[in-house]
Structure 1
Amino acid sequence: MKYKLGPGEKLDPNEFILKGFEDLEISTQIVIRDALNRGLEVEILDRPSHFIRLKGQGKTRLVKEASKTELDSYMTFLVMENKTVTKRILEESNILVPKGITVSDISSGLDFLKQTSDRKMVVKPVTTNFGIGISILQSSASEEDRKKALEIALGFSETAIIEEFAEGNEYRFLVIGDECVAVCNRIPANVLGDGKKTIRELVEEKNKDPRRGVGHVTPLEKIQLAETELSVLKEAGKSPDTVPSPGEVVFVRKNSNISTGGDSVDVTDIAHPSLKKLAVEAAKAAKAKICGVDIIVKDLKSEGDYRILELNFNPVLYIHNYPYSGKNRNVGEKILDVLGYVS
């Protein structure tokens, strides 16, 4: 199917659901909307895989899942997909990453974790996204907990990374071309207590927000109360029936991914220029033109200590266009710019 707007027609960029394209993930909807508004022809090549073709201004470009384009090579994708290789390349560019090792069996992992038992550690698969398979181990973690973390990570990948836990807040820096175009603080799934409602009721209430849905077709994902969330609550001495105090923030997830119900907060304007420059340098180290750089920093507003956690080869756009709070950064427009389409 091919689509093109008629003379004078425009689609509202503030409407996050694009009529006729509701089945496509929202980042793809953003690119389609912006492309149509530039007078380009959009052809849907394969809906299930969100594969489209853009035509206009004498150019034809293929785009998959909004941010996979011909600008990045397959090798660049492979580098960013493999966290071990990413860390090596960043270290060689004198960019700081968390210290750790890669293991391919549980025994080796347990041996290393014993040597670092005085520290908070992270265990994660080498090749997954969306926070899948990641475990955070406290210094007091039992051998059973350590083994379970390794089993989970190795269940998703042939090898697992064990690394120091980087203290601070995690931010997503979106690099497109030679510019850091947006910075987002992704806050783990949470609810705010009012002294009356239970956690379950607060989750249900927060999930009524029309921006929350399931399957990346809305800007935010619904908060779940499944096994992982119940485990986090139990660890905090709470249950879905607990009534939080007024103003108390209760987290039901440890990972900050929007895909697991987190909140996206735009912080582009307060991020220190040195950190934005660092994100661009990290992307260039991997030869990436479109890249999500996850950085842990203690103070976003100043130059200082940081650690780059990973590079993402298929960064979502919607957390920057339709954040839970903050400005719309119009990053779909930036994608079209770097693809050579003039607005």
Structure 2
Amino acid sequence: MKYKLEKGEFLDPNEFLLKGFEDLEISTQIMIRDALNRGLEVEILERKSHFIRLSGNGKVRLIKEASKTELDSYMTFLVMENKTVTKRILEESNIEVPKGTSVPDILSGLEFLQNIEDRIMVVKPVTTNFGIGITILPMNSDISEQRKALELALSLSETAIIEEFAPGNEYRFLVIGEECVAVCNRIPANVKGDGKKTIRELIEEKNRDPRRGVGHVTPLEKIQLGETELSVLIQAGKSPDTIPNSEEIVFVRRNSNISTGGDSVDVTDLAHESYKRLAVEAAKAVDAKICGVDIIVEDLRTAGKYKILELNFNPVLYIHNYPYSGKNRKVGEKILDLLGF
């Protein structure tokens, strides 16, 4: 199916849902809207895989899932998919990453963790995204916690990464070409107390925001109250029926992924230029043209210590165009520029 706007037609880029394309992942909707507004022809090659073709200005370009293009090689994709290889290449480029190791089985992981008592550690699969399979082990964690974390990670990947927990705040830097075009602070799923409503009621209220949905077809995901969220509440001495104090922030997730109900806050204008340059340097190290760079820093406004957690080969666009708070960074336009349109 091919689409093209008539002369004089224009689609409002501030409306996050594109009529007729609501079933598509929202980043793909962004690319379709921006392409149509440029007078390009958009052809949907395969809806379920979000595969489109853009034509115009004497050029034809294929795009899958909004940010997979011909500009990035298959080897670049394979490198970024594998967190161990990514860390190795970044280290060789003198870029700081969390110290740790990768293990092929539970026994090797337990042996490594036996020698670590005074540090918080992170256990994660080597090849997953969206925070899936990640466990944060507290200092002096017991063997049952360690085994459970390793079992989870190894159920999702051939090897597991065990690395030191990097203190600070995590930010997503989006690199397109040789420019860092946006920076987003992803805050774990949370609610703010009013002294009256329970946590369950506050979640229901927050989920009524039309920007929250399920399955990446809206800018934000609904906050769940599943096993993981209940575990976080229990460890904080709370339950879904707890009534938080007024203005008290209650987190129901530790990971900051938007896909698990987190909030996206645009902080592009606050980020120190040194971190933006670092993100571009990291993307260049793996020869990536479109790349999400996850960096932990202590103070975003000031140059200082940092750790790069990982690089993402298929970074979502919607957290930068439709953040929970902050500016629309129009990153789809930047990709079209890079593609020569």
TM-score range, shorter chain: over 0.9
What code does the residue aligned with 1:16 have? F
Count matched residues: 341
- Cα distance, 1:111 vs structure 2: 1.1
Partner of 2:232: 232
1:163 aligns with 2:167: no
SS of 2:203's equivalent in the other structure is helix
Cα distance in 2 for residues equivalent to 1:53 and 1:110: 48
Give deviations 1:263-320, integer Å, cap 9, x for gaps: 0000000100000000000000010000000000000001110000000000000000
1:26 aligns with 2:39: no
- Cα distance, 1:127 vs structure 2: 0.2
User: RMSD of the alignment, in Å?
Assistant: 0.4
Give deviations 1:99-154, integer Å, cap 9, x for gaps: 00000111111111111121000000000000000000000311100110000000
Q: 1:108-119 alignment to 2 at 5 Å?
A: 108-119=108-119
What code does the residue aligned with 2:212 have? R
Cα distance in 2 for residues equivalent to 1:157 and 1:13: 38
What code does the residue aligned with 1:49 have? S
Give deviations 1:184-221, integer Å, cap 9, x for gaps: 00000000001100000000000000000000000000
Q: 1:269-280 alignment to 2 at 5 Å?
A: 269-280=269-280
Cα distance in 2 for residues equivalent to 1:164 and 1:213: 34
Partner of 2:79: 79
Partner of 2:181: 181
Cα distance in 2 for residues equivalent to 1:192 and 1:128: 30
What code does the residue aligned with 1:225 have? L
Cα distance in 2 for residues equivalent to 1:116 and 1:339: 48
SS of 2:170's equivalent in the other structure is strand
1:328 aligns with 2:292: no
Partner of 1:287: 287
TM-score by length of 2: 1.00
Partner of 1:64: 64
Cα distance in 2 for residues equivalent to 1:85 and 1:299: 28
1:101 aligns with 2:96: no
Cα distance in 1 for residues equivalent to 2:70 and 2:106: 39
SS of 1:268's equivalent in the other structure is coil
Q: 1:146-225 alignment to 2 at 5 Å?
A: 146-225=146-225
- Cα distance, 1:233 vs structure 2: 0.5
- Cα distance, 1:32 vs structure 2: 0.2
4+ residue segments displaced more than 2 Å: none
Q: Which moved more, 1:141-150 or 1:36-45?
A: 141-150
SS of 2:36's equivalent in the other structure is helix
Cα distance in 1 for residues equivalent to 2:298 and 2:181: 21
What code does the residue aligned with 1:321 have? N
- Cα distance, 1:328 vs structure 2: 0.3
What code does the residue aligned with 1:317 have? L
Q: 1:240-259 alignment to 2 at 5 Å?
A: 240-259=240-259
Partner of 1:311: 311
SS of 1:43's equivalent in the other structure is strand
Cα distance in 2 for residues equivalent to 1:116 and 1:318: 39
What code does the residue aligned with 1:162 have? I
What code does the residue aligned with 1:248 have? E
Structure 2 gaps of 5+ residues are none
TM-score by length of 1: 0.99
What code does the residue aligned with 1:264 have? S
